[in-house]
Every structure is written in structure tokens, then in C-alpha cells.
């Protein structure tokens, strides 16, 4: 194409360096925006996604903050897994995410690169000399903004020599020059490049830089742009191969939505879109950004009424399996490594997973008590089965918390993670004690052991207090309630005294021959396990209080 090897190196090195700065700046800025939003981001998604129209709005807003439609889609997967929203609500958020991701192109198409050094200097100054966490976060947002535009300016300058290359100009003008072949060529370029670099933002950034350099007209850019929209779905599909079926459905919905929209635009709206954006601005970069936004907005408007059909199609392609139903009850529900890209959301999901584990331990405990009461073998087997799941959850949650602690989180969130580590351990121990009680029930059944009426009444009294304590501990964690946590600690004192008193009474009955030795052993072991469950409930409550005080 008329350039020597040295010329190519002089073009590629600053281009890659500029692209690196562009992506790094976007990451810094989006991390700052996420931190400033905090756990509000998760609450926004939960509360405002009650119907598909609100979902579109939420998807757009959240994606503007996290600067990644893929990250938003991953969040949606977690919420669908949790049963917080259905697939119809999810597709609304995914459609909105497509609109939100166009903000990146709109932002960088405005040539304000002269402000980049000022923004970098201001951002660094705020980060270095501020002591308040909120001010540091503001500094990060400003710094990321500056780095992003500095990278864009470097890319633009690196690409300017391409204007003098006839071969490059001929190649660009052959793309989308009114012919079907040219449109397909441009579409494939956008799709392949986006799939390779795993980022539609990177592809869009390069396209805007080419437009700013004056070497990419809108006629050539638009089919490439359509390809990037499908290319980003390919990335999501590849990442869902090893994920659960819910993740596959979300990725497939995203793909169907963008593919159908692309076919509609290639067939009916390409020339109209180019005409509209050309009339809005003479600047090729602004034309490209406007075309990106117009495609996603119009595509959403056209396909929103058919969202239910897309959901049905995906559900037919990937129907729910019996194994999936069981996994949704007993397996990991909320954790996904891809959510780690948005740490505040990941922390919220981790807390929900800990509560899920806590509720499983409660089911296990109640099943074990049922087995003791009614000599019920099915309840014994249920407890044994859940105990294995609890052990798996402990390992997976702990590994996830370690990964989360290595992300860009603030000190307050790090302290919450520390508390979750101890809580996970306490819940696992509750599961162990439920398992012990089930073992006692099994011995009781196999050996036809019976309790005296007095022993039964005493056990029921203690079971009631321990159940109340554990329920309140989970409630305290869910609601971050100091009141519930304090009540758990008060009950713990009552249970300790009860355990001592009942132990003395039962030993007296054994010595006086009013109770069988075999039933006495089971009774005393029951007291020990119940008292230990109360201890772990108290530990969970103390962790809640510790976080609340900080």
C-alpha cells in the first residue's frame, strides 16, 4: 500500500499505544462511575425492571455507567438466575444496554482532545491530594476521561498518513459503496475485528479515530458498525459456552436481537440512515456516532413489541432441563466470574449467595429436627444431601470472595468481604451440626430409641429458641439490621443457660434410672449441637454489627 516497514511501524506503534490509553481511560472512568454509584446500581436494576419498558431505560442508564453492554448482560444473567426478573424483563435491559453502549461513540466523537491534558492533571491532583473517598472517586472519573481522549488524539494522529495512500482509500470506498457486496464486506470486517479484539468499544474507538483523521466516510463506516453490533454478541456467546443455560439464553437473546435488527437495516434502512446522519452533521465522526445511536434506538423501537416472541424462541431452542431446576434450588445461584468486572454488583451477588447458603443450612437444620421428631428417614437423607451442597457452596463462595477482594474495591467494601468470609464459615458449621443431628436421628431410628415426654418438651423448647436465633441472624444479615443482631446475641445467652440447665436435669434422670442410656446420649448430643448452632448464629450477628459500626 505504498508504505515501507518503518512507515508501518511508525503508524502501528502509536496506534496501538493510543488504543491502549483509550481502553485504559475508559476502564478507569467506568470504575470510578461504578464506585460512585455503589450498591445503588444493583437496586436500580431490581426496582426499575418491573416491566420491559422500564427495563430498556435501566439497561441504557446502567450501561452508560459501566461502559460495557457485556457487563450489563452478565448482571442480567445473575438476576434471572435469582428469580428476581424473568427473561421478558431481561430482554428489555439487554435492548437498553445496546442503546447505552452508543454513548461511548457519542462521547469520543466530540473533538475536545485539547482538554485531555487539563483533565489528566486535575484528576491526578484530586487523587493524590484528597483524603475523602468520594473526592478520590471523582478524581478517577476525571482522570479516566482525560486518558481516554488523549488515547483518541494519539490514534487520530497515527492514522492521518493513511489519507495519502490511494490503495487504502480504494479499499475504504469499496466498502458499502451502495452495493450488496460492499455492504457484506464492511459487515464482515466489523464482525471479525470485534470478535478478535473482544471489545466493540475498541472497534468503535478505532473507527472514530479513522473518521477524525478524515479517512473513513459514513458510507463505509455504517456497514462496519453493523458488524460490530453482531461481533459483540459473538463474544458473549463464546463466553457463555462454559456457563449455565440461563447465561446461554441471555447471550442468545442478545444475538437474535442484533442479527434481526442488522438484517432489517441492511435490507431497508441503510441509505435512509446515512442520509439522515449526513444531514445532521458534516463531521464524519459525528455522523458515525449518530448512526450508531440511530441504529440501536430504531432497532429497539421496532423489535420491542416482539420481545415476547424472541424470549419464546430462545426458550424453545434452550428449554429448561430437570437438572437446571434442581441446580436453581441447591446449586450456586448468584455468582459469575464475569460480574467481577463490576465489583459493586459482584459484592451484592456474593451477599445474596451467602444468604442462599444460609437458607439451605436452615432447610437442612429443620429437616434434621423433623427426622428426630418423627423418625423420618427421608428427612435424614435430605439433610445429608443438602450438607454436600453447603460444603460446595462454602468452597465456591470463598474462592469468589478472594477474587472479589483482588478487584478495584474501596476499603468499606473490603471490610464487608472480610465479614462475609467469617459468616460463610459459620453457616457451614451450622450445616455440619444439622448433619450431626441427622446422624443422631439415624441412630435413633436404627436402634428404636424413644425419648420421654419430659425430654421431648425440653428439646422442643430449646429447638424453638435456636430456630428463632438463626432466623433472626439471617434476617439481620439480609436487612443489615442492628436490632435483629442484638436480639440474636441476647437469645444466645438464654440458650447457653438453657443448655446447662437441661444437661443437669437429664443427667439426674439418667442417674435415677428414669431415662434409657441410649436416649440419654442422643439427648445430650442434641443439646451440644443446638447450643453450637446458637453460637454460630451469634457470630453471624456480631459480623453484622461489626460492619454497621464501621
Residues 494 and 384 in one domain: yes
Residues 295 and 336 in one domain: no
Residue 468 lies in a domain: yes
Residues 349 and 307 in one domain: no
Residues 365-378: tens digit of each pLDDT:
999 999 998 889 99
Residues 313 and 344 in one domain: no
Residue 177 lies in a domain: yes
Residue 528 lies in a domain: yes
3-state DSSP assignment of residue 172: helix
Query: Residue holding cell 416472541?
Result: 309
Q: Which three cell numbers stand for residue 156?
A: 487520530
- Lowest mean pLDDT segment, chosen from 209-218, 299-308, 384-393, 494-503: 209-218
Secondary structure of 58-116 in HEC code, one letter for each residue: HHHHHHHHHCCHHHHHHHHHHHHHCCCCCHHHHHHHHHHHHHHCHHHHHHHHCCCHHHH
- Residue 530: phi, psi to the nearest 5? -65, -40
User: 158-190 burial string, b = 16+ CB within 10 Å, else e?
Assistant: bbebbeebeebeeebeebbbeeeebbebbbbbb
Q: Distance between CA atoms of 309 and 413, rounded to whole angstroms?
A: 41
Question: Which of 268, 297, 317 delimits the end of a domain?
Answer: 317
Residues 275 and 394 in one domain: no
| CATH code of the domain covering residue 411 | 1.20.58.220
Q: Distance between CA atoms of 532 and 421, rounded to whole angstroms?
A: 19
The residue among 225 and 163 whose pLDDT is bigger is: 225
Query: Residue holding cell 464506585?
Result: 35
Residues 307 and 446 in one domain: no
Residues 382 and 239 in one domain: no
- Lowest mean pLDDT segment, chosen from 228-237, 379-388, 455-464, 490-499: 228-237
pLDDT over 90 (residue 86): no
Q: What is the DSSP letter of 43?
A: H
Residues 190 and 166 in one domain: yes
- Lowest mean pLDDT segment, chosen from 74-83, 102-111, 251-260, 497-506: 74-83
Residues 368 and 228 in one domain: no
Residues 392 and 531 in one domain: yes
Enclosing domain of residue 362: 328-549
Share of the chain above pLDDT 90, in %: 31
Q: Is the pTM of this model over 0.85?
A: no
Residue 322 lies in a domain: no
Give me the half-sphere count of Cα atoms (radius 13 Å) on the Cβ side of residue 80. 26
- Lowest mean pLDDT segment, chosen from 91-95, 344-348, 399-403, 490-494: 344-348
Q: Distance between CA atoms of 470 and 492, rounded to whole angstroms?
A: 10
Question: Which of 289, 317, 345 delimits the end of a domain?
Answer: 317
Residue 58 lies in a domain: yes
Confidence of residue 193 (pLDDT cuts 50, 70, 90): confident
- Residue 415: phi, psi to the nearest 5? -70, -35
Per-residue pLDDT, averaged over 443-451, amounts to 85
> Are the beta carbons of 361 and 434 closer than 8 angstroms?
yes
Residues 336 and 458 in one domain: yes
Find all residues with CB under 8 Å of 540, minimum gap 6, and list them. Answer: 358, 423, 426, 427, 473, 474, 476, 477, 488
CB atoms under 10 Å from CB of 22, counted, come to 27
Q: Distance between CA atoms of 271 and 162, rounded to whole angstroms?
A: 26
Residues 130-186: tens digit of each pLDDT:
888 788 888 988 998 899 888 888 888 888 877 777 777 777 777 865 677 888 888
Question: Which of 317, 343, 372 delimits the end of a domain?
Answer: 317
Question: Using only C-alpha atoms, what is the Rg of the chain?
Answer: 30
CB atoms under 10 Å from CB of 265, counted, come to 24
Residues 306-355: tens digit of each pLDDT:
988 998 999 888 887 766 665 555 567 788 776 787 787 788 889 989 99
Planar angle of CA 80, 86, 91, nearest 5 degrees: 90
DSSP string covering 223-276: HHHHHHHHHHHHHHHHHTTTS-HHHHHHHHHHHHHHHHHHHHIIIIIHHHHHHH
- Lowest mean pLDDT segment, chosen from 50-54, 379-383, 461-465, 486-490: 50-54
Q: How many domains does the chain have?
A: 2
Residue 200 is predicted with a pLDDT of 74
Residue 373 lies in a domain: yes
Share of the chain above pLDDT 70, in %: 87
pLDDT over 50 (residue 2): yes
Alpha helices in 304-376 (DSSP H): 307-317, 322-330, 343-374
Q: Distance between CA atoms of 426 and 355, rounded to whole angstroms?
A: 12
Find all residues with CB under 8 Å of 130, minimum gap 6, and list them. Answer: 136, 139
Query: Residue holding cell 438476576?
Result: 79
Confidence of residue 1 (pLDDT cuts 50, 70, 90): very low
In this structure, is the dihedral angle defined by the CA atoms of residues 196, 201, 202 and 207, taken in order, positive or negative?
Answer: positive
Chain-centre distance of CA 209, in angstroms? 31
- Lowest mean pLDDT segment, chosen from 103-117, 488-502, 529-543: 103-117
- What mean pLDDT, rounded, does the chain reach? 84
CB atoms under 10 Å from CB of 88, counted, come to 15
- Lowest mean pLDDT segment, chosen from 89-98, 228-237, 260-269: 228-237
Nearest of 143, 145, 286 to residue 212 by alpha carbon? 286
Residue 494 lies in a domain: yes
Residue 323 lies in a domain: no
Per-residue pLDDT, averaged over 234-257, amounts to 76
Residues 291 and 406 in one domain: no
Per-residue pLDDT, averaged over 467-488, amounts to 93
Q: What is the dihedral of CA 10, 14, 15, 18, to 10 degrees?
A: -170
Q: Which three cell numbers stand for residue 62?
A: 446502567
Amino acid at each position: 500500500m505504498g508504505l515501507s516497514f518503518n512507515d508501518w511501524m511508525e503508524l502501528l506503534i502509536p496506534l496501538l499505544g493510543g488504543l491502549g490509553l483509550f481502553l485504559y481511560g475508559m476502564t478507569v472512568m467506568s470504575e470510578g462511575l461504578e464506585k460512585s454509584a455503589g450498591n445503588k446500581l444493583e437496586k436500580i436494576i431490581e426496582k426499575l425492571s418491573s416491566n420491559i419498558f422500564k427495563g430498556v431505560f435501566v439497561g441504557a442508564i446502567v450501561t452508560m455507567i459501566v461502559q460495557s453492554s457485556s457487563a450489563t448482560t452478565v448482571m442480567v444473567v445473575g438476576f434471572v438466575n435469582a428469580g428476581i426478573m424473568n427473561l421478558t424483563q431481561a430482554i428489555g435491559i439487554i435492548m437498553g444496554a445496546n442503546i447505552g453502549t452508543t454513548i461511548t461513540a457519542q462521547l469520543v466523537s466530540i473533538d475536545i482532545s485539547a482538554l485531555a491534558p487539563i483533565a489528566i492533571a486535575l484528576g491526578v491532583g484530586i487523587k493524590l491530594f484528597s483524603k475523602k473517598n468520594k473526592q478520590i472517586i471523582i478524581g478517577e472519573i476525571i482522570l479516566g476521561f482525560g486518558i481516554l481522549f488523549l488515547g483518541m488524539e494519539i490514534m487520530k494522529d497515527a492514522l492521518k498518513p493513511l489519507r495519502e495512500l490511494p490503495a487504502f482509500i480504494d479499499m475504504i470506498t469499496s466498502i458499502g459503496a451502495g452495493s450488496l457486496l460492499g455492504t457484506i464486506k464492511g459487515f464482515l470486517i466489523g464482525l471479525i475485528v470485534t470478535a478478535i479484539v473482544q471489545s466493540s468499544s475498541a472497534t468503535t474507538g478505532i473507527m472514530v479515530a479513522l473518521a477524525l483523521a478524515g479517512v473513513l466516510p459514513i458510507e463505509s463506516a455504517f456497514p462496519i458498525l453493523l458488524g460490530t453490533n453482531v461481533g459483540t454478541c459473538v463474544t458473549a456467546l463464546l463466553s457463555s459456552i462454559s456457563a449455565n443455560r440461563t447465561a446461554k439464553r441471555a447471550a442468545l437473546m442478545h444475538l437474535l436481537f442484533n442479527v434481526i435488527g442488522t438484517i432489517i437495516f441492511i435490507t431497508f434502512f441503510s441509505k435512509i440512515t446515512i442520509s439522515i446522519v449526513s444531514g445532521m452533521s458534516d463531521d464524519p465522526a459525528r455522523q458515525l456516532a449518530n448512526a450508531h445511536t440511530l441504529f440501536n434506538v430504531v432497532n429497539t423501537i421496532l423489535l420491542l413489541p416482539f420481545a415476547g416472541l424472541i424470549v419464546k424462541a430462545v426458550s424453545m431452542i434452550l428449554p429448561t432441563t430437570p437438572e437446571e431446576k434442581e441446580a436453581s434450588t441447591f446449586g450456586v445461584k448468584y455468582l459469575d466470574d464475569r460480574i467481577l468486572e463490576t465489583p459493586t454488583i459482584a459484592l451484592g451477588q456474593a451477599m445474596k449467595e451467602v444468604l442462599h447458603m444460609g437458607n439451605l443450612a436452615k432447610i437442612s437444620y429443620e429437616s434434621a429436627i423433623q427426622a428426630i421428631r418423627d423418625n423420618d428417614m427421608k428427612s435424614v437423607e435430605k439433610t445429608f444431601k443438602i450438607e454436600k451442597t453447603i460444603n460446595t457452596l462454602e468452597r465456591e463462595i470463598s474462592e469468589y470472595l478472594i477474587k472479589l477482594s483482588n478487584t478495584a474495591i474501596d476499603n468499606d467494601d473490603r471490610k464487608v468481604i472480610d465479614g462475609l468470609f467469617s459468616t460463610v464459615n459459620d453457616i457451614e458449621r451450622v450445616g455440619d451440626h444439622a448433619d450431626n443431628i441427622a446422624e443422631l436421628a439415624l441412630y435413633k431410628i436404627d436402634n428404636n430409641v424413644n425419648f420421654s415426654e419430659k425430654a421431648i418438651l425440653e428439646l422442643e423448647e430449646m429447638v424453638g429458641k435456636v430456630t428463632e436465633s438463626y432466623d433472626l441472624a439471617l434476617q439481620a444479615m439480609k436487612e443489615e439490621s442492628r436490632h435483629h443482631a442484638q436480639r440474636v446475641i441476647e437469645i444466645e445467652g438464654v440458650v447457653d443457660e438453657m443448655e446447662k440447665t437441661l444437661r443437669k436435669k437429664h443427667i439426674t434422670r439418667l442417674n435415677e434410672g428414669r431415662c434409657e442410656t441410649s436416649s440419654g446420649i442422643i439427648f445430650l448430643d442434641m443439646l451440644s449441637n443446638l447450643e453450637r448452632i446458637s453460637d454460630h448464629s451469634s457470630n453471624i450477628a456480631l459480623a453484622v454489627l461489626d460492619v454497621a459500626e464501621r
